[in-house]
Amino acid sequence: MSGRAPVWDPALDELASTMRAAVFTGPSRPLEMTTVARPEPGAGEVLVRVAACGLCHTDLHYMDHGVPTFKTPPLVLGHEISGTVMRVGTGVDQARVGTAVLLAPVTSCGACVMCRNGRENVCAKGRMLGNNIDGGFAEYVVAPARDAFAVPDSIPLEESCVIADALTTAFHGVTRRAKVEPGEVVAVIGCGGLGLNGLQVLSELHREKPELPVVILSARSDVQTKLRGFDLGANDYLAKPFSFDELVARVRAILRRAAPGRVERESAVIRHGDLVVDAGRREARVGDTEVQLAPKEFDLLWELLDHRGLVLTRDQLLERVWGYTFAGDTRTVDVHVRQLRRKLGEASPIVTVWGVGYKVGPARNPVA
């Protein structure tokens, strides 16, 4: 595998007006190796000479499984692209010519609510390479300059193409969606392509946060795969079929070893007047009477009590209790608050702060 593609000198190369491409002409037909017109970059775009393009299962869906592409064939597939910028359209810095880039599989507008929330991969105006527009199974591809990302010299360009889609999917999942933090256990379910990428991301996180416990659940029970998982930083590995009780027991054991702080919290009890909430037993009592709470009701009550004196917005509660990371269905919070009030009756400490969210009010029957 060679290293960085040499910097292209515009003076040395007159680009041909045609290029070779593997063209998709319809389902259940082989890609057609043919010569087509080379695209030119428009305003805000770059022309990239493809170094490598990953073959994604999504491509196989189009080719073999009859999943339709957005653009009617003929179409050049491929959306995991690395390459070198050869030309830039108007409005793009000429200095980008000759630089090594990865292309985001989906173009982004930078302005819609998804883009503004760091979820450019589901941009409302996004167009996917090799699906809505021609992709990377060709010598050249055109893409928006804002979706072309510089590749550091330390990564061989040909090897980096899978970062653009497969690895970033796992990266996004671990860092932005799950927001994995020390003291949390991560279960990677399935060690196929993306699962293994997930593990690679986790092993990098592990280097920074060695206290982060990782458990792998997999259909693969062979020793080689298990050893690979442990090498990548897993604390435990369970092969299917496994009992759920065993999984819970192992996670508890790992938490005891890996995150003593968490155990403190696990055994913590919050008293608020005659309301007593026990995190270890996941029990809520009013005086001597136990109140049966659903898991999310319990978590919501705990989160509010744990932040006594603070107002928490519905979005904050959604994120902390349900794990959503962007404004979602905030009615979910209201419904659970209503349930808590119904179940706790007079003992409910939850106060609505109009237009903001919820907080915990002063304790009833304060303990002396």
Tell me: does residue 115 bind Zn ion (CB under 5 A): yes
Tell me: does residue 165 bind Zn ion (CB under 5 A): yes
Would you say 57 or 282 has its CB closer to Zn ion?
Answer: 57
Give the span between the Cα atoms of 345 and 349, in whole angstroms. 9
Applying CB under 5 A, the span of 163-171, 181-189, 215-223, 332-340 interacting with Zn ion comes to 163-171
Nearest CA to 214 out of 196, 224, 222 is that of 196
Q: How far is the CB of 270 from Zn ion (least distance, A)?
A: 42
Nearest CA to 54 out of 129, 132, 133 is that of 129
Tell me: does residue 109 bind Zn ion (CB under 5 A): yes
Would you say 56 or 305 has its CB closer to Zn ion?
Answer: 56
Give the span between the Cα atoms of 198 and 174, in whole angstroms. 7
Q: How far is the CB of 191 from Zn ion (least distance, A)?
A: 18
Applying CB under 5 A, the span of 19-27, 132-140, 159-167, 273-281 interacting with Zn ion comes to 159-167
Applying CB under 5 A, the span of 113-121, 212-220, 231-239, 310-318 interacting with Zn ion comes to 113-121
Q: How far is the CB of 58 from Zn ion (least distance, A)?
A: 4
Question: What distances in angstroms separate CA 285 from CA 271, 347, 366, one per listed residue?
Answer: 10, 10, 15
For residue 234, report the phi and psi dihedrals to the nearest 5 degrees.
-70, 145
Nearest CA to 129 out of 200, 64, 39, 65 is that of 39
Applying CB under 5 A, the span of 9-17, 107-115, 196-204, 343-351 interacting with Zn ion comes to 107-115
Q: How far is the CB of 221 from Zn ion (least distance, A)?
A: 28
Q: How far is the CB of 194 from Zn ion (least distance, A)?
A: 9
26: tokens are 């319809």
What's CA 278's distance to the chain center, in Å? 32
Instruction: Count residues near Zn ion (CB under 5 A).
Output: 8
Specify the DSSP element, H or E, that contains 335.
helix 331-344
Nearest CA to 16 out of 104, 99, 140 is that of 140
Question: What is the distance in angstroms between the CA of the first residue and the CA of the last residue of the chain?
Answer: 73
Nearest CA to 357 out of 297, 317, 312, 325 is that of 312
| Residues in a beta bridge with 23 | 32, 76
Q: How far is the CB of 51 from Zn ion (least distance, A)?
A: 17
Range 26-65, binding Zn ion (CB under 5 A): 56, 58
Q: How far is the CB of 47 from Zn ion (least distance, A)?
A: 22
Q: How far is the CB of 166 from Zn ion (least distance, A)?
A: 7
8 Å CB contact between 36 and 4: no
Q: Which of 112, 194, 254, 363 binds Zn ion (CB under 5 A)?
A: 112
SS3 38: coil
Give the span between the Cα atoms of 327 and 105, in whole angstroms. 25
Would you say 116 or 281 has its CB closer to Zn ion?
Answer: 116
Tell me: does residue 235 bind Zn ion (CB under 5 A): no
Binding mask 118-147 for Zn ion (x = CB under 5 A): -----x------------------------
Tell me: does residue 82 bind Zn ion (CB under 5 A): no
Residues of the shown chain interacting with Zn ion in the complex, contacts defined by CB under 5 A:
56, 58, 108-109, 112, 115, 123, 165
